[in-house]
Amino acid sequence: MKPEKPNYFDLVYQVVRLIPSGRVTNYGAIAHYLGIKSGARMVGYAMNAAHTMTDVPAHRVVNSQGLLTGKGHFSTPTEMQELLEKEGVKIEKDKVQNFENVFWNPDEELAL
């Protein structure tokens, strides 16, 4: 019997769990790391399903411009921002400030 292969959502969650507090990444960076070039939308679907999972810091995944596009999937419209601000990430008008400085690139951070 073959060992069960993790599904795509599980692979996304494994990467998201590695994002350090105070850092963010984007959907496309996760998809690229996992080898799925057009998979940013699938990462978004995974994040939408993860907002109730306490062990997946979905608030640390934003869009490619640093916008909090996933905020509507949290329990309140401000929860995503509040969680990021608790970690020291500055947000203005639903956008991560100094995005390039807090961006966590799994291709670089998880390089073998």
Taking 80 as the threshold, does the pLDDT of residue 2 lie above it? no
Taking 80 as the threshold, does the pLDDT of residue 1 lie above it? no
pLDDT digits (tens, 9 = 90+) for 32-74: 999 986 789 999 999 998 877 889 999 999 999 999 999 999 9
The label of the residue with tokens 């350090």 reads 20
Query: Which of these, 13, 15, 41, 9, lies nearest to 28 by C-alpha position?
Result: 41
pLDDT digits (tens, 9 = 90+) for 75-98: 999 999 999 999 999 999 999 999
Q: Which amino acid is at 33?
A: Y
Q: What are phi and psi of 52, to 5 degrees?
A: -100, 0
Taking 70 as the threshold, does the pLDDT of residue 112 lie above it? no
Q: What are phi and psi of 61, to 5 degrees?
A: -115, 120
pLDDT digits (tens, 9 = 90+) for 4-32: 666 889 999 999 999 999 999 999 999 99
Domain boundaries, the chain: 8-99
- Is it true that domain 8-99 has CATH number 3.40.50.1000? no
Q: Which residues sit opposite 96 in a β-bridge?
A: 91
pLDDT at site 98: 96
pLDDT at site 7: 85
Predicted structure pTM score: 0.90
